[in-house]
Amino acid sequence: MQKSPLVAIDTNFPLLLAAGDDTALDALDVVRKRMRPAEILVPPTVQGELLHQAENDPDAVQRALAKKALLQLRSRWHFHPADLNSAQEAVTREAARRILFAGLLPAAEINDALVIAESAVLNSILLVSNDSHLLKADHRRLGLLFRELDLPVPLIVSPREIVWKFYR
């Protein structure tokens, strides 16, 4: 039996979905139809960021979007919150540290490095993000870095890219 392809998401993707963004909704539809039966994972850092925004964001609109996204992760979009075991957490921390040390992301973008690393540890083939830092990360250098850790490299794509490249 063939395993479902795994797709990880960044925090901004469920926020876009919750806001009713047409491009994000179309991207989700494309992933569902073209990668059937894809399993869409919510990495631990993304879960934490959504929860933090839902409880603490100073912008009331952003707080409401985060709450809506959290409520709809499973019920509406059928996303699967992912957990890591202690070995996976250790590999994730090391991968994120190396991403930052190599300058693949700005030093302040610790959570972005964690999202990429978690996506790799979870064996995701795609990471859907609208974050320019993630989208600009050098995929070749990331591949070389992750090869040392025996990790796959997820392809980081925006919702717009998914729709533009794969919508037919």
In this predicted model, what pLDDT tens digit does every residue of 11-70 receive, in sequence order? 999 999 999 999 999 999 999 998 878 899 999 999 999 999 999 999 999 999 999 999
Read off the pTM. Answer: 0.94
Q: What is the pLDDT of residue 55?
A: 98
Q: What is the pLDDT of residue 168?
A: 53
* Cα-Cα-Cα-Cα dihedral sign, residues 140, 5, 96, 104: positive
- Mean pLDDT, the chain, rounded, equals 95
Q: What is the pLDDT of residue 42?
A: 98
Q: Is the pLDDT of residue 77 over 80?
A: yes
Tell me the domain boundaries of the chain.
6-166
Q: Each residue of 52-62: b (16+ CB within 10 Å) or e?
A: ebbeeeeeeee
Q: What is the pLDDT of residue 91?
A: 97
Q: What fold does the segment set 6-166 form as a domain?
A: Rossmann fold (3.40.50)
Q: Is the separation of the CB atoms in 125 and 6 below 8 Å?
A: yes
Which of 148, 139, 137, 134 has its CA nearest to residue 104?
Answer: 137
